[in-house]
Structure 1
Amino acid sequence: MLGKLRTLASDALIYGLTTILVRFMTFLLTPLYSNYLSKTEIGVFTDLFSILGFITIVYCVGLDTSFFRFFVRDNVNRTKEAFSYSFWGIFVVSGFFTLMVFVFADSVALYFPEINSRFGSSVIRIAAFIPFCDVLTFIPYAVLRMNRRAKVFAGLKIMTVAVNVIATYLLIAVFKMGIMGIVVAGIISSGVAFLAFIPIIMQWLTPLRGGKSLLREMLVFGLPTVPSALSLMILQVADRPIMKAIGGPEMLGMYSVNYRLALPMLLLVAVFEFAWRPFYLSNHEERDSKILFSRILTYFTLCCALVFLIISFGMEYVVRMPFVGGRFINPAFWSGMGIIPIVMGGYFFNGIFTNLAAGFHITKRTKFLPIATVIAAASNVLLNIILIPKYGIYGGAWATFGAYFLSMIVLYYYSRNIYPVPYEWKRIFLIIIVTLGIFWGVNALPDMIWTKILAIIVLVAFFRFTGFFNEEEIAAIKRLVGRKPK
């Protein structure tokens, strides 16, 4: 048992670190975009790639999800059949729609007049193959995960993103290809990933022997997951096409660059999510597990408060740092930095959602999770339509903030009956109130770096000397701080 837990922890660590590294590498493209592309160009490709995200979900028709369900570790032949039906099913669906986009690219390009006027339909034809190549790697990636080949999985993920970053730099910074360069870099990295997977694909593919019942079972299981996946995608990126339609690509470009600067909070939530799931699945049967889970949410909130203040106060100095092509972020985008704290607030509520979701997985009543996601996605669309015309990029940020907040509220409503946990709401609200008080107070003072550093120290000191931590927690902190390195 202990050995299996170690394996789980090791794999979770590798997947978690890989996700963090991949997102950070992708984040490094943001300063390149801001220094070598106009706001309009950034807005256009942001809109294009958000649409490609939706297309990817449709292409999979749920077969990527159902493969996990039909993977049988002790029956290689059965698993190969599931792999083959999943792979060829995705290949046929994605191939058909890719061909349709390629044939009707001239009509599709009319939705992107900025691209059409400069490149015609060539960008659309190239971009059509990006989701096609991407989805063909989903089942091979799933095989690696199910066979616990975490290091190979991580290596291929990192290689793909590294190829994309290098290709993007060369094509937009050296060869000045603009949007075309980003799309070409995308197809290069997706193509390289697919080629790297060919040996694994050939290893697991098996001739289809007319077992259509298996395909039918996989579709019956997988297709119902598509609406939930689409809802999650709507929650994450619906603001992009709506903002472009209402405010134009230039507004979306400003929004996109500054939205990405909230990455540190996103990474904190991602780290928590990867560590959290194996933790609660391994500890939920302990006698005091609910008290432990409650305390973890309090500590998570405190960590988010520190990150919130550090990024809110420090990002204006980061964007001024030298970088390839000029500053880390082009000064033309600095006026939109006010959305960063709002976006971080949304990520914080998403982290609470992740914490609350534990009870639904423990009790195996996950049907309530899509309900919260669908409600949040619908509210995100509605709020964007209402707020963007009046408040611009701030309307988009507040819409996302509100949608994540609503998803948390809906999940908490159901969790009270399904898996009640005595959360320390008084301590959590105290953290939030003190953090916001410091944030607003510092912003009302003259802009000095020492004031901001002092404010962060004040936050830590406040919770240390006002009785916020109990004696057990203070002793644990002292042991942690006083621990000598080995």
Structure 2
Amino acid sequence: MFKHIKRLGADSLLYAFMNVGTKLIAFIMLPIYTRLLSGTAEYGMLDYIDRVTSMLMFLVIFGTDSALAYYYFEAKDKKLKEYYVRTVMMFRLVILAVIALVFFVGGDWLSELVLRESGYTNLLLISIGTLFFDTILTLILTVLRYEFFTKRVVFFTVLKMLLIAAVSYVMLITIWPSMTGIFVARILSVGFVALLLFKYVIKYARPYFNKEMLIEILKYSAPLVPASLSFWVIINANTILLKNLGSASDAGIYAAAIKFGTLITLLTTGVQMAWRPFSMSLKDKENNGAIFSKIYMAILLVGTLGIMIVATIMPWVIKVLDKDFWEAYQYVALFSAATFLNFYYMIISLGIFFTKKTKYISYAFGIAAVINVILNLVLIPEFSIWGAVTAYLVSYIVAIIYIFNRSQKLFYVPVSGMKMIIQFSWAIASVIGIVYIQESSTISDFNIIYVWLFYLIGLFVVGIHKDLLSKVA
């Protein structure tokens, strides 16, 4: 028993290191890209192509990651496990081949249709080439993770990110001081890592076809696609619509802001990984509801406090980027708020997971995705980036309220949903106040202290101190 617990702890620590490492590498490259590329428009196009590629990756995977996780562990025979992996690999590569053919035949016409600008066909094709190597690598690393080769997974994942960062930098300052250098660096780096894993490539990328097995996998994976699609829409629709309804420059500033906003995951990832086993261990304990209620409020308090800190310091932090991107600071705190909600829903959805009613997660984010698109279409033409930010945050608020209400009906936690809404809304109002002062040339930044007092007073008004300090019976 202790051996299994020790493995879980060690593996969790390594994966947490991997997550923090890859995000830090990406963050370090952000100011480099913004300074070496030619302005916000080019960086906006880079981010836009990346989002198109992420959509293609979604189509290639098509929910087969969850299906493979189930059938791989169900299969007791090693050969059968290999057949499942090769079936998934074949399915993904066939889908990718079709996509590549469409873009190759469509050429500049399809490039202009997708990107709203011509001259980027070669970059799209290079991206699809990178996607080819990434598709193979992703599945191989998944299998290594299933076999508990944690160190190998962490090593090759971090190596890939390091290579992409280093080669991109070299390309930008020598051969290609443009997006082309970044895309070429990516395909070279990912291809090199695939070469290092050549023995696994040979083992799992060999063609294999079993009609019954493929149907079995697709029957499992297809129902999961709507939920994954909803997440993709919420995350990416804002940038795509901002690029088409606004400008590439706006999309570039938006992309920089959201990358800063998602850095809050460096703090939430550890809690996220530990929460599910921790909560399950308390599932049948006496008076667990009182314990969960305190955790709900404590995490919400820490989260809103973090968002306030982000809003206060961002005008200085953003200066690591090129000055053309400095205006992005005003959006970062609200992106952090949305990112926090994307994490927080997993905390307050205990009833859904305890009772295995995970369909409500799909319902919640399906509704949120529709609201997100509608708000973007309505708000972006009038308010540009602020419209996209509003749509992003509101969609997550709707999703989390729906999830909390459903979860409470399935497993009641003695905590006031209204009090939680008031506390979060109070923090958002405070953030808006801070940004307003920072943007105003006639109001001294010293007045931010009063906004902080407003936020702190609000905590006592809603009585959060009583929730946290009361004893568990």
Shift of 1:364: 1.5
In structure 2, the gaps of 5 or more residues are: 438-442
Structure 1 residues 44 and 205, CA gap change in structure 2 (3 angstroms):
closer
The amino acid of 2:218's aligned partner reads L
Letter in 2 for 1:13: L
Give the paired residue count.
464
Q: Aligned to 1:186, what secondary structure does the other structure show?
A: helix
Pairing 1:273-292 to 2, within 5 Å after superposition = 273-292=272-291
* Mapping 1:34-433, distance limit 5 Å: 34-37=34-37, 38-72=39-73, 74-111=76-113, 116-117=118-119, 121-203=121-203, 208=208, 211-320=210-319, 328-425=320-417, 428=420, 431-432=423-424
Do structure 1's residue 11 and structure 2's residue 11 form an aligned pair?
yes
Displacement after TM superposition at 1:455 (Å): 7.5
Question: Which of 447, 470, 474 is matched with 2:445 structurally?
Answer: 447
Paired residue type of 1:80? E
Contact 1:356/1:415 (<8 A) preserved: yes
SS for the counterpart of 1:364 is coil
Give the CA deviation at 1:420. 2.3
* Cα drift, residue 313 of structure 1: 1.0
Note if contact 2:290-2:414 (Cα within 8 Å) is conserved in structure 1. yes
In the superposition, relative to structure 1, how do residues 206 and 163 fare at CA in structure 2: closer, same or farther (>3 Å)? closer
Report the CA distance between 1:473 and its aligned residue: 5.1
Q: Are the structure 2 counterparts of residues 314 and 100 from structure 1 closer, same or farther at C-alpha, using a change threshold of 3 Å? A: same
Would you say the 8 A contact 2:294–2:468 is kept in 1?
Answer: no
Aligned-partner residue type, residue 179 of structure 1: M
- The residue type equivalent to 2:364 in the other structure is A
Are residues 293 and 198 of structure 1, via their aligned partners in 2, closer, same or farther at CA, if it must alter by over 3 Å? farther
Question: CA 1:80/1:308 → structure 2, altered by over 3 Å: closer, same or farther?
Answer: same
Whether contact under 8 Å (1:264, 1:311) holds in the other structure is: no
Q: CA deviation at 1:5?
A: 3.0
Counterpart CA distance in 2 for 1:279 and 1:202 is 40
- Displacement of 1:452 after TM fit? 5.9
Residue 112 of structure 1, CA deviation = 6.5
Q: Using the TM superposition, give the Cα deviation of residue 138 of structure 1 relative to its aligned residue in structure 2, in angstroms.
A: 2.6
Deviations 1:311-360 (A, max 9, x none): 1111211233xxxxxxx111222223221122122122222212133332
Following superposition, the deviation at residue 375 of structure 1 comes to 1.0
- Residues 207, 183 of structure 1: alpha-carbon distance in 2 compared, 3 angstrom cutoff: closer
Any idea what SS the aligned residue of 1:128 has?
Answer: helix
CA drift at 1:266: 3.4
Tell me the distance in 2 between the aligned counterparts of 1:453 and 1:9: 41
Gap change, CA 1:150 and 1:459, over 3 Å in 2: farther
- The percentage of counterpart residues that share the same residue type is 21
Check whether the contact 1:102–1:124 (CA below 8 A) recurs between aligned residues.
no
Pair 358,471 (structure 1): closer, same or farther in 2 beyond 3 Å: closer
1:46 partner amino acid: D
Q: Secondary structure at the match of 1:238?
A: helix
**Deviation for aligned residue 1:419:** 2.2
Superposed displacement of residue 423, structure 1: 2.5
How far apart, CA to CA, are the structure 2 residues paired with 1:454 and 1:173? 46
Aligned residue number for residue 440 of structure 2: none
Larger mean CA deviation between 407-416 and 288-297 belongs to 288-297
